[in-house]
Amino acid sequence: MSLMSLQGKIVFITGASAGIGAATALAFASEGARLLLAARRAGKLAEVASAALARGAPSVHSIDMDVRDHRAVQNAIDSLPAEWAEIDVLVNNAGLSRGLDKLYMGRIEDWEEMIDTNVKGLLYVTRAVVPGMVVRGRGHVINMGSTAGELTYPNGAVYCATKAAERSINDGLRQDVLGTPVRVTSVDPGMVETDFSLVRFRGDRDRAAKVYKGVKPLTADDIAEVIVWAAGRPAHVNIARVVLTPVQQANSLLFHRDG
């Protein structure tokens, strides 16, 4: 079984400044991949870039990009230096959750931000990158899903809807590239301890900590390891979807909390 070497491959990661995106950058760096990193927070991104170089990435190119702006996304991809233009692996990781309100009490700006980032942003980046993969006859798109996309939980309808959309977009893309060598994967984690809950609750640390109380959650490194594993399968193998949760989680509704 000849595994796919990631040495020197160009890996493009969105939302790379923290959490799963940053961990994924470091995991690919360890495999000798060249990293194209995008995020809105340039300072944080610079820290991830230097950590990735220290971890073994031969080179890193960072772009300041908001996935919600389709023109900015297209321009960023169109104006890549020639040595960075041939993207081998796209990790569509940029995403967030805002608020935990009953749908009929939800904040419209929260809905807009989640839909614009998690659904439209995913589409914009995919639209800008995948045509090149099809023309070159190689590439792999890895999308960040969630157990929330399988089973809606109370007060999370819109976030869950965005992840259900990711699932449909992922599966539709895999159908649409059939007949080309391009691979399409969705990685769907359950509870992962990152800044995700801190973002959802706008910096309220106490409220964010309660989410993980009594549970040993997955880490960003756990998810990064699965992403790199999927990318490293032999060329004829497509990992369609990986669902992973902590042992103390059955699905997006059922948890066993200690104490």
Residues annotated as part of the active site? 159
Name the region of 59 (left: φ>0; alpha: ψ -120 to 50; beta: rest). beta
Q: What angle do CA 20, 9, 239 make, to 5 degrees?
A: 60
Q: Which token pair is 95?
A: 């995403």
Separation of alpha carbons 38 and 184, rounded Å? 20
Report which residue type is found at 91.
V
C-beta of residue 218 within 8 angstroms of C-beta of residue 191: yes
Angle of the 42-55 helix axis to the 19-30 helix axis, nearest 10? 30
* Chain mean position to CA 118: 10
Q: What angle do CA 198, 15, 222 make, to 5 degrees?
A: 75
